[in-house]
Amino acid sequence: MTVATCSACGAVPHDKIEQMIEAEHRLDISVPSVHCAGCIGSIERGLMKVSGVRAVRVNLSLKRVRIDHDGSSKVEENVLDQLTNLGFEAHLLDGKLLNNKPDEQSRNLLMRLGIAGFAAMNVMLLSVSVWAGAEGITRDLLHWVSAAIALPTVAYTAQPFFKNGWSALRVGRLNMDVPISLAILMAAGLSLYETAHGGEHAYFDAALSLTFFLLAGRYLDYQTRAKARSAAVELTALEVPRAQRMRNGMVETVAIETLQIGDRVLVRRGARVPVDGKVVNGTSEIDMSLLTGETMPQLVAENDVVYSGTLNLGAPIEVDVTHIGQGTKLSEIAALVATAEATKTKYTSLADQAAQIYAPLVHLLAFGAFIFWQFYSGDTRLAIGIATAVLIITCPCALGLAVPAVMTAASGRLYRLGVLIRNGAALERLVDVDTVVFDKTGTLTTGIMTVVQAPKGEDLRLAASLAKYSDHPLSVAVASLIDQGAFQQAKDMIEHPGQGIEATVKGIHVRLGRAEWFGVKPVAGYVQTWAQIGDQPASVYLFEDTLKNSAKQAVLQLKKRGLKVVLLSGDTQLATERLGAQLGIDHAIGAVLPDEKLALVQSYGGRVLMVGDGLNDTAALAGAHVSMSPASAIDAARAASDFVLVKDDLTLINSCIALSKSAKGRMLENFGIAAGYNVIAVPIALAGFATPLLAALAMSASSICVSLNALWLTRGK
């Protein structure tokens, strides 16, 4: 049987239609704690068990999970619950915001580079016959064929230089692309003139090889910058896209943009707060680590303020919306980050400084050569040829490669060490650092609580047996104090939201929770929980964040370099000072909010290295002179950082500083090579002894020398 179809529908391939359908039912979730193939397997196998899930793909480098599902209403909630049950922290992302800008520029440059290289090889093959002595009609024919290949190729592949050069000229200034564009245009134009008038020499191969080498430098430079996605975009993607709105006694799932101030939303256990608002019903504990960086939950009750993006760990709460859109705390931090990023981009790199001096000098030399030879010989063709040779021989190809070649070599070296460089200019900035500022939780510490004081014997076994039934971070730490076989069964368990839990264990009434619940005074400066066994007085369990193995050595290395080391944390002042003393850090400041952290970083001067991992660090990371984050950091923090420590080893910070000094040395050497080449080659060109072809060959040789010098960075310790 034949089925009639719409011609428009038939024009769309079936697989494309499926992709369009799938895109409408797709979740992008950030999973910061995924770190190995075992994690990937656990997540993919676990999520495929969730009803409605069709496909799961884990991206280890981005620490993200993409889930395709059937669009059923509960699938999002079930997926997040399953990830939590599997032991992975999960942040729902807005996939449309993260993927709305494909990397067209990289593909564009690579395509132009390939076309220029292919055309240059073909024109050089045609030029061999001319160099071998072809004359008359044969030579002219070969020149015209070369022109047919070269002119459209130059017109297309050199557009990045033409556009940038014209943009500079329109506002009355010079940049590197102005002499580059003139050199390419004059080489192609002079060659066309010679070909049209039956001249012996044409330099289409010079114009193409010049374009090829310059595009290679431009592509390498772009690749070192291509990963520097704006942290402000990543922060926006962290906003919860949907909410559970309560209206007329009914709960409905709505898009976040449809909410209005005064609406009431339900925040279920394990869900993220979708808006800034005030709790009107319920008591719970909120994970504020997204804002403060600290893992310990905060008790909230009626009339307390909660913020968008924070996680509800306890009982469901009802929240009245007080701020939406750009008014939320998350949006304020995103705006702070965007401002800080803009400030950082004002840094002038070595290449930019060289361009400011080099570009005017090149034009003066070429113009001077033209004027001299025009008056000296009276031959306009000769004067133009020499001026073109001067422009080509002084063309900043070696300068254009001087920095990108070093950046590419350094990026490879850092990658093998376990560091990703996201911003090439940061390697230059890192050399100037005189102060290193560390975040505490998740950066110097693991975020996992260790018990430093606890009762022993039967009291501990009873408390740990009760703690086993709670997923609170402190309960997990208490439960880990005894062996699996020592646990006792708990009965009649009751959870008191924001306070603690109680149950009967071995016939004894056991309670575990906050000091306030027991009516006792908390121990100052410590994270703590209290336990009461029967009628005995409550006893305290004290906790400290577990220090990373490499933290102490990293701080020692940095202090040996003569750098000032500072600790900033959202934790209490006492806890921050205690950790600072443990690591030998003299400057430790606690209870710092995100905007205060940025202000403090800026107050230390313009040469600060910031190391952090949380949302509360993103503004400081973006505003610091240079910044780093561990691979376990949230997406927004990694996006705001110039370096990402893939290996969980803080001593790599010292390695990065050492390599940055070597890299800057190589850059300066490359500039020296380029300058030395010009000192030798420019007089030869000015004297009229270099044709545009020889000038192009000399320029290519200098570019190769610069690239080889950069490769030495990959050798040695």
- Active-site residue set: 439
Phi-psi region of 262 (alpha: psi -120 to 50; beta: other; left: phi over 0): left
Q: Beta-carbon neighbour count of residue 684 at 10 Å? A: 16
Give, in degrees to the nearest 5, the angle at Cα 97 between 92 and 102.
125
Relative to beta strand 284-287, strand 311-312 is antiparallel
Question: Which amino acid belongs to residue 274?
Answer: P
Buried-state track 569-596, b at ≥16 Cβ within 10 A, e below 16: bbbbeebbbbbbeebebeebbbbbebeb
CA-to-CA separations, 59 to 36, 40, 43, 64, 328, in angstroms, rounded:
11, 8, 11, 5, 30
Q: Comparing C-alpha atoms, which of 672, 652, 670, 663 is closest to residue 609? A: 652
User: SS3 for 275?
Assistant: coil
Cα gap 603→617, rounded to integer Å: 16
Contact between 441 and 706 under an 8 Å Cβ cutoff? The reply is no
Report how far apart, in Å, the C-alpha atoms of 518 and of each of 128, 261, 384, 533 are.
93, 38, 93, 12
SS3 430: helix
Question: Considering only CA atoms, which of 480, 432, 488, 489 is closest in space to residue 626?
Answer: 432
Polymer length of the chain: 717
Residues 265 and 465: their CA atoms lie apart, in Å, by: 36
Q: Which residues contact 510 (CB under 8 A, 6 or more apart)?
A: 462, 463, 465, 466, 490, 502, 503, 504, 531, 532, 533, 534
Label the pairing between strands 500-505 and 490-496.
Answer: antiparallel
How far is Cα 512 from Cα 130, in angstroms, rounded to an integer?
A: 92
**Tokens 């080489």, residue located:** 187
| Nearest-angstrom CA–CA distance, 543 and 477 | 9
CB atoms within 10 A of CB 171: 6
Q: Do 529 and 520 form a contact (C-beta atoms < 8 A)? A: no
User: Phi then psi for 375, rounded to 5 degrees?
Assistant: -75, -35
Task: Give the containing element (helix H, strand E) for 27.
Answer: strand 26-30
